[in-house]
Amino acid sequence: MSGCQALVMNNASISDSSASSGGALSISDTPSVLLCDSSMLHNTATGDSPAIFNTNGTKQGGADVSSVLFPGSLSAVDGMGGAILVQGATSALIYRSSVEHNTAGSLGGGLSVTTTCPLLASGEALAPSSAPFPLGSALIPSALVQPMTELAARSQAGCHSTVLWENSFRHNTVNVGET
């Protein structure tokens, strides 16, 4: 899914699915996403990226890999997010959901997030906002109206983030290929 204004999934179940990345759900450039009381079980990101380096600060082949994961852009890597891939200009709240027994070929057995918040990296503060959730609060549980409003405001300011709240992530794996 790419380029929509918002996505709300409540009490949904996606299982036994596969894709190159985001085995159950791949979300890109969607400013507001809510996944609530849902389950993602036994999904697979089938892509493989054998070019992953160890990031423990050691040198491999003479290169300092403490800050290098891939020789290119993360958005171009297959096999990310066995169940869920969140990328690009996307802000998401995953609430009371179960992400279990999923497999990825490169990163994030259950969840892979490749969004950024350049404002936080530069030390700038985000101004408080009362901008509403794009689809309106009638579509989301009342307890989540405030967090989704805050995520929408951050997203409008160019700061995209993913919030995990009261979830279960169990038995997710990454099977990294070898070169």
**Rounded average pLDDT over 171-176:** 89
Say whether pTM exceeds 0.85: no
Percent of the chain scored above 70 by pLDDT? 69
Q: How far apart (Å, rounded) are the C-alpha atoms in residues 101 and 5?
A: 30
Is the confidence at residue 99, as pLDDT, over 90?
yes
Is the confidence at residue 47, as pLDDT, over 60?
yes
Q: How far apart (Å, rounded) are the C-alpha atoms in residues 138 and 145?
A: 9
